[in-house]
Structure 1
Amino acid sequence: MRLISALIFIALHTNHGHAQFSPTLTVNSCTASKLRLTLNNAANGGIIYIQGQTSACKQTTQFAVTVHEFDFASCGITWASSFKMIVQKNALYQTGDDKQIPIMCIMDLTDLTVGNDVNTLDKDDDAGQNLTVKPTASMKIYRSGLDVGGSSVQLTDEITMIVELDAEYKADFDIVAKDCSASTIPIVQSACAADTALFPDFTKPAPGYLSNSFGAFRTTDLNGGSVAMTFSCTLTVCQGSCAPATCPSGNGYGRKKRGISKRQASPTPAIDDISVGTTVTIATEEVILQSPDRESDVCMNKGGFIAGVITVLVVLTVVLVIIVYITRKFQESKDVVGKLNGSA
């Protein structure tokens, strides 16, 4: 496996005329900006410091297990240079029991086998160890500037995917999104977008930082509702700048934006692969089908029916009045004729 290796060479200088003082020092990480180590069995009130530097690089020790961090910028240490770490039993004076531990942090891009096979120093009891460090990264999805990972967005939303190395690795490493998928849908293959209409190529605003804005999408669900989409990527990690892939739409890490530092001009080979991912639920907006307002229609129909009934009743009443009037007139005429005939 290709990993970053910090080679630590330890020389324990022992004076048999004094009481044994055998602290144990383990380097946890050694980056371009910081040295982090664990110290055990040191002396209470003793000190640990980088030789030849200011008091900013001096810390107090304890017999118990303690963790110490040294900032290289404050200590004036250049990465890939050798320096001595001193573990001193007494803060006021030095003795032969004090430990001098030469340390050098270097990059090793070759295949490593972890073991005690580092170069020996000038003493039979010198010991060494290999420390391997693997960069880490994260993936986040945003909508309108808010992280929506683990929550829900609408199918009509525009969302942005951000993939970036963790802060402590950005100064020294770069990444390429080699392969990505959205659940069962491949979206990046061999560092190129599989379908730019669905998911365009990544842009690269800064080393170790990839960005991609796209319309939300999901796998087909005939039942509607919400669908959980798992976005995941396999990232290639490089020391320095990663070489972009040549894609139909441009460079495939993705496209290089103007204004990126010139130090990316000389890409270096990949050293490892890491994985990142997150899940977002994609929901559809409920659409209510607009149908004729039946209640209004019923009201209108009822009103028309009532108006019709009233009209009919009015007409019938008028007809009835006319019939009664005609009947009376006819009867009156009949009576008059009868009287005239009787008189004759």
Structure 2
Amino acid sequence: MRLLTSIVLLAVLAALGHAQFNPTLSVDSCTSSKLKITLENAADGGIIYIQGQTSACKQTTSSATTVHEFDFASCGISWADSFKMIVQKKALYQTGDDKQIPIMCIMDLTDLTVANNLNALDKDDDAGQNLTVKPTASMKLYRDGIDIGGSNVKLTDVITMSIELDPEFRDDFDIVAKDCTAATIPIINAKCAADVDLFPDFSKPQQGYLVSSFGAFRTTDLNGGSVAMTFSCTLTVCANMCSATTCPSGDGYGRKRRGISKRQADAAPAIDDISVGTTVTIAAEEVILEGPADDGSVCMNKSGFLAGIVGLSLSLLIAVVATVYMARKLKERKKALDKANGTGMTSVAMG
């Protein structure tokens, strides 16, 4: 009887020991190069590793809450692969207490629920985890290299629009501007510029980056003043490089950068659409006219100048006429004196 009691007690203690090891694992982030997880209630001196990989993917566990990072390149794992994370209670041997958690990083590009397509588990009491990530991008407007989003610009300004995937997505994804509008004005239609004189086609300096420079414009406002213009684009996201769209002025997303083969550019189908946008206020260029007082002053100055020129010309003309007149008078008087002097001398000689 005592032996039976001891056996039952040992079985209970063993069951309690099993129950005590119940680690929980949650995926914090999963990029194209790195997996980051948080582990709780693991064992001191235990290990966590990715099944089937080298010791580069093995780390020591603790009973405290710990964060673990695994480099996919070192582990030889592709981003979209399904793999099993093993949480082992003892570092030197495996037991039935060890946990196997399947993990898959999924690029969620839709609003639909992602189906669980994980590999079959060795133990059906271990729940798998999927981490879904949606690529994000941003639009910015620049004037002379300065971000002007939300500020005021003039109709005479030249604006540069840039659209970029966020850094963590640029190595694996690309974008093309599918449709864009400026307020109610279409500027990109079916990946091509609606009016290249208004807004040129985007160029692509590098993967995940679009840019176009244009003269500021706005919708017509008969009241003048400032007009808020909201620029928005629907972007198509592609795995790797997006294929080009032939437009009248060139490629729809811009010219392919050097070093990218046609096979790379054409091999990536569109996956899904995302949206970006920003707003800027555009004011008409003000033309300041001179007031009436200034106009009068300018007119008076011009009139005085002209009057002075006319007066000076008249004075010169009068002086010339007077000079000619006086010269003629003097000449006539001299002739008269010479004649008078000649007559008087003859009379004296005869006497």
Same fold (TM over 0.5): yes
Taking structure 1 as the reference length, what is the TM-score of the superposition?
A: 0.70
Q: 2: CA distance between counterparts of 1:186 and 1:279?
A: 15
Code of the aligned partner of 1:188? I
* 1:98–1:263 distance in 2 versus 1, CA, 3 Å: farther
Q: Conserved in 2, the CA contact under 8 Å of 1:205 and 1:260?
A: no
Whose RCO is larger (CA < 8 A, sep 6+)? 1
* 1:217–1:87 distance in 2 versus 1, CA, 3 Å: same
Partner of 1:293: 295
Sequence identity, in percent? 69
Deviation of the 1:166 alpha carbon: 0.8
Matched, 1:191 2:200: no
Partner of 2:200: 200
Partner of 1:248: 248
Q: Conserved in 2, the CA contact under 8 Å of 1:175 and 1:235?
A: yes
Code of the aligned partner of 1:211? V
Code of the aligned partner of 1:293? D
Partner of 1:314: none
Q: Conserved in 2, the CA contact under 8 Å of 1:57 and 1:75?
A: no
Q: 2: CA distance between counterparts of 1:281 and 1:70?
A: 47
Count of aligned pairs between the two proteins: 289
1:314-342 deviation per Cα after TM superposition (whole angstroms, max 9, x unaligned): xxxxxxxxxxxxxxxxxxxxxxxxxxxxx
* 1:210–1:158 distance in 2 versus 1, CA, 3 Å: same
Partner of 1:210: 210
Question: Which stretch shifts more, 116-125 or 239-248?
Answer: 116-125
* 1:208–1:299 distance in 2 versus 1, CA, 3 Å: closer
Pairing of 1:325-340 with structure 2 (within 5 A) = none
Pairing of 1:46-57 with structure 2 (within 5 A) = 48-50=48-50, 52-54=53-55
Partner of 1:140: 140
Q: 2: CA distance between counterparts of 1:145 and 1:47?
A: 51
Q: 2: CA distance between counterparts of 1:252 and 1:99?
A: 51
* 1:284–1:110 distance in 2 versus 1, CA, 3 Å: closer
Code of the aligned partner of 2:243? A
* 1:136–1:59 distance in 2 versus 1, CA, 3 Å: farther
Aligned partner of residue 127 in structure 1, secondary structure? coil
Aligned partner of residue 19 in structure 1, secondary structure? helix
Pairing of 1:118-129 with structure 2 (within 5 A) = 118-129=118-129
User: Which protein shows a greater Rg?
Assistant: 2
Q: As a proportion of its length, which structure holds more helix?
A: 2
Aligned partner of residue 199 in structure 1, secondary structure? coil
Pairing of 1:235-274 with structure 2 (within 5 A) = 235-260=235-260, 264-274=264-274
Q: 2: CA distance between counterparts of 1:129 and 1:103?
A: 5
Aligned partner of residue 135 in structure 1, secondary structure? coil
Q: Conserved in 2, the CA contact under 8 Å of 1:202 and 1:212?
A: yes
Taking structure 2 as the reference length, what is the TM-score of the superposition?
A: 0.69
Code of the aligned partner of 2:190? S
